[in-house]
Chain A
């Protein structure tokens, strides 16, 4: 079974600074997708960024970027120029490429942004 590990239950960052959230996963599959979701206090799950395992280039979405290390099975999220609105729970997720397309989520990292 696939497992996703987020080893940082809580992180904090000063406004305008940069923070990196870590995620590792365990799989025997060679092709899959990886995602970062944000969950603010409203509970709504919001996609932040995604990466396909076959793509070497790290994904970037505005202030959000990832460091994808396939051999190390690592998928960290970097948030640049942190804003107060970035405060939320962040979940790393692994999506299988199979019939069910199941997603496996990490336990989350709670990010606090300090003004």
Chain B
């Protein structure tokens, strides 16, 4: 059981380049989330999904797109990267049912030059 995995772990982009971050979970969880973590800001929700084929906006969705074509995968895309998107990105999944906690991936450190 790998839990939640994220690919890649590190990436450096130039302004204007595009990339996709992949999140995969093998726990059959319905809900998946993408966060960004910046110093002094905590974790802020970018987008989330309540099931295969669904996506919804979180607190800070601008500049990002997501897709959940398969239940186990949640992709985060940056179409035209900006320096303000330099951050650590975390993916998390959540099983259905009450009282459950989110399970987090190890994070991806993205630098946009």
Contact = CB atoms under 8 A, between A and B. Distances in A.
Contact of A91 (B42, B45, B94, B106): B42
Interface string A90-115: 01000001011111111110000000
B50 interface: yes
- Dominant SS at the B interface? strand
Interface residues of A, number: 25
Given A50-B99, A102-B58, A105-B43, A44 B104 contact: yes
Nearest to B101: A47
A50 B104 CA distance: 16
B104 A107 contact: no
Interface string A1-30: 100101001000000000000000000000
Interface of A: 1, 4, 6, 9, 33, 35, 42-45, 47, 50, 52, 91, 97, 99-108
Given A50-B99, A101-B94, 20 more contacts: A4-B42, A33-B99, A42-B106, A43-B107, A45-B90, A45-B92, A45-B104, A52-B98, A91-B42, A97-B98, A99-B50, A100-B48, A101-B50, A103-B33, A103-B45, A103-B92, A104-B45, A105-B35, A105-B43, A107-B42
